[in-house]
A = this chain, B = another copy of it.
Amino acid sequence: MLNFESDYLEGAHPQILRNLLNKNMEKLTGYGEDFYTKQAIKKIKKTINNSNTKIIFLCGGTQTNLIVIGSVLKPFEGVIAADSGHINTLEAGAIEATGHKVLTLKNSNGKIAPEELDIYLSNFFNDQNNSFKVFPGMVFISHPTELGTLYTKSELQQIHNICSNYNITLYLDGARLGYGLMSDNTDVTIEDIAKYTDIFYIGGTKVGALIGEALVFTTKKIDSLVTRVKQFGALLAKGRLLGIQFDTLFTENLYFNISKHAIQMANLLKKGLIEKGLKLYIDSYTNQQFVIMDENRYKRSKEYIKSFYWCRHDEDFVVARLVTSWATKEEDVFELLNVI
């Protein structure tokens, strides 16, 4: 059975497991104070070309989102997101559980359109009767988005400028950041991300790690971060588990190389699907591809291919998501194109 359901099907990139094994019996200080965690932080700072940041490693995307939003916003503030944003749809109300409203803007291919954001904020802050409304205190964007799309550098700059104008924090969810940065169709670098956002995270779980996200505070100051993270139950006693993984991922470009592989596989897949006459739901240049199939074809495909049911397209057609990763084999892509 072929399986293109997600990018978290396998364990970790083998180099990561090898390093965990090699250092296994070293006695290390707990709670993120170990040598490997410190080394990983240094390497990330070098990679993003910004040594003046605060970095901490966490376990998962929802956890990272709720800690950032729950720690940075004032009690009366909410977070703006695209209506398709992960925090609005698939995080079980985790953001609201920290006390904050998710304020939604209609998405444009999964993204927030800068002009829509500007209108929203301008309307809010020019409204003299806004004191009973939820104050927008943060903008949440995903890169790539939940639909596999990417912000352009210009869009990112615009959103950055708008947020600056209104003194609002810009936070970028990079659960699949590697796959976005290695896309053939992007002008955004990791240095740009670090430059134009106040907070972002580099996703590990979906990009080769067993578990782990690297949360980076670039401009945004936050005090007592370890205490805050502990309070959310998110501080690992064995911080080495995250430190060694990110140390490995940011050694010899591993994070980027394995992301590049996933993009190559996705490109192959996309090209093949189009050649077979299939239509795509969205023009994605990252590792998530969304293919439209009539129901019969979809049902048949399920005998050979595990995909992720995305949504119904119309009466006769459905959308299935096919995902590549660092672990995807070329032969599996060819076989998928053969049997779909």
Contacts and interface: CB of A to CB of B under 8 A. Distances in A.
Interface in A207-244: 210-211, 223-224, 226-228, 230-238, 240-241
Nearest to A78: B93
B100 A241 contact: no
Contacts of A59: 59, 233-234, 236
Interface residues of A, number: 74
A237 B206 contact: yes
Contacts of A74: 223-224
Contacts of A61: 237
B24 A14 contact: yes
| Secondary structure call for the A interface | loop
A216 B238 CA distance: 23
Given A9-B28, A93-B100, A232-B233, A224 B63 contact: no
Given A11-B24, A27-B9, A96-B78, A211 B238 contact: yes
A70 B63 contact: no
Contacts of A60: 233-237
Given A96-B101, A99-B97, A8 B21 contact: no
22 contacts: A9-B28, A9-B30, A11-B241, A17-B20, A20-B20, A59-B233, A61-B237, A63-B234, A64-B233, A75-B228, A76-B224, A76-B231, A91-B230, A93-B100, A94-B230, A96-B96, A96-B100, A97-B99, A97-B231, A98-B99, A132-B227, A211-B241
